[in-house]
Structure 1
Amino acid sequence: MTITRRLFGAALGAAMAAGVALPAAAQSASQALISDSVITQIQEEGVIRIGLSLFVPWSMRDVNGDLIGFELDVGRQLAEDMGVEVEFVPTAWDGIIPALLAGNFDVIISGMSVTPQRNLTVNFTDPYAFSGLAILANREMTAGMSLEDLNSPDVIFSARRGATPAVVIADRFPEAQLLLFDEDGAAAQEVLNGNAHATMASQPSPNREAGRHPDVLYVPFDQLFDPRGEGFAVRRGDPDALNYFNNWIAQQWRSGWLQERHDYWFATEDWADQVAQ
């Protein structure tokens, strides 16, 4: 009987100790997550560093060389609401995810479409913008051609390296040739110069380019390709960052601010005189 009571007492004591240890361990793990979160780092440093790649009208240089665009409005408002300064880090598109993972900046806000492939490497917030891709073509080179005709070894597409249009073109027109460039502007210039039949980009860029050069360029099809949302990209394993950014995006949708800013940059050209033509 004595042994039984002693065993019971030992078991009870162990259970009580475990009951105390488990909450303590959980609290310690929670504190570690908080201290490791990029949100904590941003607050401690007093600055949020945002990686972006330049393409109209998401982010671009004005006539004075300053950064303007939809992303800049989003990033500045986000920093203001967090009570910190903002630093924008222009980065080549094909290196922007590796740069995020290397810690060169805290978050990517650069019109990045949410894809399963990218999601294996980074975490995405809820969409803060929605867009689709359209074909911009050279009138003379593609006159009378259908979508099916563009899928030919005799057809040349141009696109920005590592961007969604390059992936969509390769998938939708696998027989066509594909020239890759570091900037959207260079891809469109190839079409304008007659060195490529067509390119693909997020609207309203194709419509804007066609409007600037109506004798040479046009948008031959009403079809939008790969319509999807764009999200902030953050490093994996940071639930606090996803929570904060998602709540911020939801609030800006509810207030109408995101829609108003998106309409300004994508549905008007009120800003066009700020950019070198």
Structure 2
Amino acid sequence: MKLATCLLATLLPALALADTPPSRLEQIQQRGQLNVCTTGDYKPYTFKQADGSYEGIDVTLAQNLAQSLGATVQWVPTTWKTLMPDFLAGQCDIAVGGISVTLARQKQAWFSSTLDVDGKVPLVRCEDQAKYQRIEQINRPQVRVIEPAGGTNEAFVHAFLPKAQLSLHDNVTIFEELRQHKADVMITDASEALYHQKLQPGLCAVNPAQYMQYGEKAYLLPQGDLTWKLYVDQWLHLAKATGAYRQAQTQWLPTAP
């Protein structure tokens, strides 16, 4: 009896290990493909072009990550509203594209180490900058706020601007709505606001160094897969240390730190 008990005690850890599914790291290397969820509507991080290809800071970095694994990238289209359901359904190994770290997302998935700090600021017509400096100036019934559906920008409006008129719009043509006076304010991350300030004549980021809400960006990873997270974090650390991360940024943000 004692021998049987000893054998069982020896075998149980091995059996438990045998039942553990392989890490995403192993799976990706075996299939030679990195499945990447991205919205494709958030310059300068991710943008889906007319021919179906993707470009942007996080697109370049995802390709770099895949190369480090001897794999190619398989893009998995998603939206801000469906990002988490698609991710939890196992459609991708990682999600990229200017994703903000939130506690709500953290409950369901893991994040990589922090990419950058990037808080919420208003993007408005340049002649209206003085009108929309503070939350109290925006949180009024006559102010028309416009946001993409399902992301942290919409969540910010519901939390802090409940009195404003909110309309939801696709994140590609929102900026033209602002320019054409069909909306007054877009709350977004400072990086996007500054990018479109350069890209869209007449639009200005309001106090881009003074966030209305602090934020961080990171990549979304499957919860519980420590091996895969450790690999992504180390790859990211080396990308920053070697300059590959900054090089990807400067392709889109010439003034990147």
Give distance in 2, aligned partners of 1:18 and 1:129. 53
> Does residue 160 of the first structure (1) align with residue 148 of the second (2)?
yes
Name the amino acid aligned to 2:159.
Answer: D
Larger radius of gyration: 1
Are residues 100 and 145 of structure 1, via their aligned partners in 2, closer, same or farther at CA, if it must alter by over 3 Å?
closer
Give distance in 1, aligned partners of 2:127 and 2:207. 15
Give distance in 1, aligned partners of 2:229 and 2:212. 28
Regions of 4+ moved over 6 Å = none
Residue 187 of structure 1 aligns with which residue? 174
The gaps in structure 1 that reach 5 residues or longer are 1-9, 270-277
In structure 2, which of residues 229, 234, 238 is the aligned counterpart of residue 247 of structure 1? Answer: 234
Give distance in 2, aligned partners of 1:31 and 1:258. 37
Are residues 157 and 18 of structure 1, via their aligned partners in 2, closer, same or farther at CA, if it must alter by over 3 Å?
farther
Give distance in 2, aligned partners of 1:22 and 1:176. 64
Give distance in 2, aligned partners of 1:127 and 1:17. 49
Give the conservation status (yes or no) of the 8 Å contact 1:158–1:188: no
Q: Is the partner of 1:201 in helix, strand or coil?
A: strand
The C-alpha deviation readout for 1:151-205, integer Å capped at 9, x for no partner, is 1111111111111111122222222121112x32232222112111100222333
Give distance in 2, aligned partners of 1:81 and 1:199. 37
Superposed, 1:100-249 pairs within 5 Å as: 100-139=87-126, 144-147=131-134, 148-181=136-169, 183-214=170-201, 216-222=202-208, 223-249=210-236
The C-alpha deviation readout for 1:218-261, integer Å capped at 9, x for no partner, is 22334223333222212223222222212222222232322332
Residue 31 of structure 2 aligns with which residue? 45
Are residues 166 and 267 of structure 1, via their aligned partners in 2, closer, same or farther at CA, if it must alter by over 3 Å?
farther
Give distance in 2, aligned partners of 1:23 and 1:244. 30
The C-alpha deviation readout for 1:51-72, integer Å capped at 9, x for no partner, is 1111111112457653211111
**Structure with a larger share of its residues in helix:** 1
In structure 1, which of residues 257, 265, 272 is the aligned counterpart of residue 244 of structure 2? Answer: 257
Residue 79 of structure 1 aligns with which residue? 66
Report the CA distance between 1:27 and its aligned residue: 2.7
Give distance in 2, aligned partners of 1:27 and 1:88. 36
The gaps in structure 2 that reach 5 residues or longer are none
Give the conservation status (yes or no) of the 8 Å contact 1:154–1:177: yes
- Identity across the alignment (%): 22
Give the conservation status (yes or no) of the 8 Å contact 1:129–1:262: no
